[in-house]
Chain A
Amino acid sequence: MLSATRRAVWAQSRSRLAQPSCPAYSFSPSALRRLASSLAILEQRDGKLNHGSLSAITAAQKLGGSVHAFVAGSNVKPVAEEAAKVDGVEKIIAVENAAYEKGLPENYAPLLVENIKKGGYTHIIAGHTAFGKNLLPRVAALLDSQQISDITGIENETTFVRPIYAGNAIATVESSDPVKVITIRGTAFAPAEVASGSAAVEDGVDSKPESPTEWVSEELAKSDRPDLATAGKVVSGGRGLKSKEEFDRIMQPLADSLGAAIGASRAAVDSGYADNSLQVGQTGKVVAPQMYMAVGISGAIQHLAGMKDSKVIAAINKDADAPIFQVADVGLVGDLFEKVPELTEKLKKA
């Protein structure tokens, strides 16, 4: 029986060693089990690295073992060179081809699978962003792996922690898949810093899979304010703002006085007070800033799911019984149309 195990391990090692880009494995079975080799998927747009996606590298580093990063698009050399400066990354695999610029999973997923197979990775990690959510399950299905979504913690190479039921419960799950496909919650893993690393940049395999889907256009909300997902401070407005005009009139000066990003509850988005991309909650963005100020938001569980990991929560609401006050570190009961402008004025003077 022992010899059978040894043969199996040997066969596995041989098949991995046959691939030149693969790190050398020890032949001891326990070492084989322990040695993770991760591929972090980086996001880019127009030749610029999305720094939020460096969180995938942080998660990969927590796993231990070797860390490679992957990027594809039309002008990815500058992106790859920037990512190469992240400490602890051994290699950046870059595929330069305009076909992948928009991250269409129809061709990006098979491309990724090719590169994953070539690299013999044990862990594939991307952010639980629109891009990661769209792409990774398709990759997981092609690899016949049950993806682990939106993790907030890593216990070891096989065991992960993730919120379920809108964050009302925390599940610890163990994966038995040989290749673990993982999306991570950005607020749970700080982006790895671009420092003085010197990873090798290498061209990835490009098998040029065709996409049956065509990218037509996009409309992105323009904003000079900090990005909602990564802002240190967030002020969020709800149904209590009553109209889009009032939302803008009340929330924008408040955000400016704090240097904060603006968020919104689903009620505010559905009523047309704010753009959908500003929605915080189970179905919108999950944020965990230093300070989160909820203005005219009652605090439904779907909203709390998106912000209850914030460091300090402040709430302004006229209803003293609003559930938001149960989680707020500091609450003010009052009419937001009076209290918020007063607050804005006093913050400006401070």
Chain B
Amino acid sequence: MSALRILVPVKRVIDYAVKPRVNKAQTAVETAGVKHSMNPFDELSVEESVRIREKKRAPGGVEDICVISAGPTKAQDVLRTAMAMGADRGIHVEMKEGEELEPLSVAKMLQKAVEEQRSNLVVLGKQSIDDDAAQTGQMLAGLLGWPQATQASRVEFGEGDSVSVTCEVDGGVQTLRAKLPMIITTDLRLNEPRYASLPNIMKAKKKPMEKKKLADFGITTDKRLKVLKVTEPAPRQGGGKVEDVDGLISKLKELGAI
């Protein structure tokens, strides 16, 4: 069995607990001065990769866990976090503040990165919680012609490079089996990501971080989708409270709900 060379793409997004606000010009969501962190699904990807190594789950062992992120200088923070969780090294693809890539461009960038890093397993989050697109992993699998297992809740390694993945689907789960190289996207049930300990955060500062440019991957920030406007959703008016169960029932009847 081949040793695993895992590539884990991570994205810096507005922290999941922050309520995003649309900017005054209605062109985007306000990001300045807002707390950012690693996309929660990407934490699951890093955790899973580290656990595969720690629990010696893959017969061929884990040779390398490389994390990659495209974004402004601050994207290095999420790469350092991933390294503090146990990733070996990072690649920061530098972009200007405010520049963004569409999933298809990210997938094309990752396709090149996979070739360069000789990765045989890419573990991505199932979606980023800012754009909510849920596309990059599948697009990358399509571009590479590799098998894909999306919304994974369990990953097991067998003999002869085989990987069994249990995937969340509507109404339950399904199990798929494929051979390396492959693409896996993570779902919430896969694991519970660890907190990086202080000593590990210190150690992570010494781990190698390579800096690259979009041009190194032949990628530009050109977009296929033009954002015409971003607005707040129509506000919902709370209807007030009732005193008791009878009040609840009569209000629901009044609203035509029952």
Contacts and interface: CB of A to CB of B under 8 A. Distances in A.
Interface of chain B, main secondary structure: mixed
Contact of B172 (A177, A220, A302): A220
Contacts of B226: 173-176
Nearest to A283: B188
The listed residue with most A CB atoms (<10 A of its CB), out of B19, B132, B146, B147, is B132
B191 to A, nearest CB: 12
A149 B104 CA distance: 12
A259 to B, nearest CB: 10
B225 A214 contact: no
A218 interface: yes
B175 A216 contact: yes
Interface residues of A, number: 91
Given A138-B138, A138-B139, A213-B147, A173 B257 contact: no
Interface of chain A, main secondary structure: mixed
Contacts of B249: 343, 346-347, 350
A109 interface: yes
A57 B147 CA distance: 29
A169 B224 contact: no
A336 to B, nearest CB: 11
A150 B141 CA distance: 20
A26 interface: no
B238 A325 contact: yes
9 contacts: A146-B225, A147-B139, A163-B233, A168-B232, A219-B172, A283-B188, A314-B252, A329-B239, A342-B245
Closest 7 pairs between A and B when the two form their complex, measured CB to CB: A141-B142, A137-B138, A220-B172, A146-B224, A329-B239, A138-B142, A141-B139
Given A145-B104, A146-B104, 18 more contacts: A105-B141, A130-B167, A130-B170, A131-B170, A138-B138, A147-B103, A169-B20, A170-B231, A172-B231, A176-B224, A211-B147, A212-B146, A216-B176, A290-B256, A314-B252, A329-B238, A339-B245, A346-B246
Interface of A: 102, 104-106, 109, 128-131, 133-142, 144-150, 159, 163-177, 211-221, 229, 233, 258, 266, 270, 275-277, 282-283, 285, 290-291, 301-302, 308, 311-314, 316, 320, 325-334, 339, 342-343, 346-347, 350
